[in-house]
C-alpha cells in the first residue's frame, strides 16, 4: 500500500482557525475519495512546544507534535497566518520561534506554502526572496514594503513558484490545497474532492473582487502630515462625491491650485498611487456597490459610476477584478 503524503501545518497562538483546518479538511477528503492505489495524506499540526494554541476565534487547536519532534523529510509544509488590529489598522503577527524553525525545516520539505498572512512568516524567514508571492489583500502592501525582494502580487487567489506556494485570505488555503491535490493525483481527484466539499475546483477572478480598494490607509503618518496632505484628503473625499464629473489630471490639479507635476507628486506621496489609478478605483468601487445593491442595468451602472460606457465597465472589471460585471453581480 502506498505511503501517504506527510503534511505538516504550522500553528501558533492567534492564527485564523480555518488557515489550519481548511487545508487539512481538503487533504482529508481527498484521502477518503481516492482509490486504493493512490497515497492519501497524513496531516499533523505542529506548534512550537507541542501544546494547544488558542486561535483568533477563541477556539483551541490541539497539536500533534512540537517543532523539535518533526523528523525526517516533509512532503508539504504549510504555515498558518495571524493578524492583529492595531490603531485601526491590520498588523501581521510574526512569531520568531516559527520563522527560526521554518529556516531549518523548509529545505527538507518537497514544497512549502503559506495561508493568508502566513506569507509574512515565510518572508521573514527569507524563503520568499526573489520570488513572486501573494497574501491577504489587507496586508499585501505591508508585505511589499517590508520585503522589497519579494515580488508581491495582491490579486491572485494563490501563486505557485517552483516548490514555494502562497495564497490569499483564509478560504483560499482550501483552493491552494485543491491545486496541490491536483498536482499530486491529477485533476479528477481534485474535482471529486471539490464536489464532495461543495467547492469550485478553480475560482474565477482574483481576490481583488473581495477587497475594498479605497480602504487602503494613507502612506503618510502622524508628525509627517502637513497641509498638502489635508488638501489631498479633501480632494479624495470630493472625488468620491463627484464621480461623473471631469476627473482628469488637469482638472484635479486645477482644483487644488497646483501644477500637474506638483499635484501628481503630492498625490502619490499621500496615497502611493497615481490620480488616474485612484479615480478609476473610486469609479470601480461605485460600480461594484451598484451591482451589489441595485438592479440597475449595465449602461445605468456605467453612467452613474463615472465609467461612462458598458465597454469601459467591462474593460475595467476584467483588468482589475478578473471577471465581468454580470458575473460579479451574480456572485455578490
Percent of the chain's residues with pLDDT above 70 = 92
**pLDDT at res. 225:** 46
Question: Of 322, 329, 327, 291, which is closest to residue 307 (Cα–Cα)?
Answer: 291
The answer to whether the CB of 281 falls within 8 A of the CB of 239 is no
**pLDDT at res. 217:** 43
pLDDT over 70 at 216, yes or no: no
Active site (annotated) includes residue 167:
no
Please identify which of the residues 102, 116, 123, 143 carries the catalytic annotation. Answer: 116
The answer to whether the CB of 218 falls within 8 A of the CB of 233 is yes
**pLDDT at res. 170:** 80
- Counting DSSP H helices and E strands in the chain, the numbers are 13, 13
Question: pLDDT band at residue 272, thresholds of 50, 70 and 90?
Answer: confident
Report d(CA 60, CA 71) in Å as an integer: 25
Question: pLDDT band at residue 85, thresholds of 50, 70 and 90?
Answer: confident
The answer to whether the CB of 84 falls within 8 A of the CB of 14 is yes
Task: Estimate to the nearest angstrom the gap between the alpha carbon of 317 and the chain centroid.
Answer: 18
The answer to whether the CB of 98 falls within 8 A of the CB of 48 is yes
Residue 30 neighbours by CB under 8 Å, 6+ apart: 40, 41, 181, 185, 189, 190, 193
Supply the pTM of this predicted model: 0.72
Amino acid at each position: 500500500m502506498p505511503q501517504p503524503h506527510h503534511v505538516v501545518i504550522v500553528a501558533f497562538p492567534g492564527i485564523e482557525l480555518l488557515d489550519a483546518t481548511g487545508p487539512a479538511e481538503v487533504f482529508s477528503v481527498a484521502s477518503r475519495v481516492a482509490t486504493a492505489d493512490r497515497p492519501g495524506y497524513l496531516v499533523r499540526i505542529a506548534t512550537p512546544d507541542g501544546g494547544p494554541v488558542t486561535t483568533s476565534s477563541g477556539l483551541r487547536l490541539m497539536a500533534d507534535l512540537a517543532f523539535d519532534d518533526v523528523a525526517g523529510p516533509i512532503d508539504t509544509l504549510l504555515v498558518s497566518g495571524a493578524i492583529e488590529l492595531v490603531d485601526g489598522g491590520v498588523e501581521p503577527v510574526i512569531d520568531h520561534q516559527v520563522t527560526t524553525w521554518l529556516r531549518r525545516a523548509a529545505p527538507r520539505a518537497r514544497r512549502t506554502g503559506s495561508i493568508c498572512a502566513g506569507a509574512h512568516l515565510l518572508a521573514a524567514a527569507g524563503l520568499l526572496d526573489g520570488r513572486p508571492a501573494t497574501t491577504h489583500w489587507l496586508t499585501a502592501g505591508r508585505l511589499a514594503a517590508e520585503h522589497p525582494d519579494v515580488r508581491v502580487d495582491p490579486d491572485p487567489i494563490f501563486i505557485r513558484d517552483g516548490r514555494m506556494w502562497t495564497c490569499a485570505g483564509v478560504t483560499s488555503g482550501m483552493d491552494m490545497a485543491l491545486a496541490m491535490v491536483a498536482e499530486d493525483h491529477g485533476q479528477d481527484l481534485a474535482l471529486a474532492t471539490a464536489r464532495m466539499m461543495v467547492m469550485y475546483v478553480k475560482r474565477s477572478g482574483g481576490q481583488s473582487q473581495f477587497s475594498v480598494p479605497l480602504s487602503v490607509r494613507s502612506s503618510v503618518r502622524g508628525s509627517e502630515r502637513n497641509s498638502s496632505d489635508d488638501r489631498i484628503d479633501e480632494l479624495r473625499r470630493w472625488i468620491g462625491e463627484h464621480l461623473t464629473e471631469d476627473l482628469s489630471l488637469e482638472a484635479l490639479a486645477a482644483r487644488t491650485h497646483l501644477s500637474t507635476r506638483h499635484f501628481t507628486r503630492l498625490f502619490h506621496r499621500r496615497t502611493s498611487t497615481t490620480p488616474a489609478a485612484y479615480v478609476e478605483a473610486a469609479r470601480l468601487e461605485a460600480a461594484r456597490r451598484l451591482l451589489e445593491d441595485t438592479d440597475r442595468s449595465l449602461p445605468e451602472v456605467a453612467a452613474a459610476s463615472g465609467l461612462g460606457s458598458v465597454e469601459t465597465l467591462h474593460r475595467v472589471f476584467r483588468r482589475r477584478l478578473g471577471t465581468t460585471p454580470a458575473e460579479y453581480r451574480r456572485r455578490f
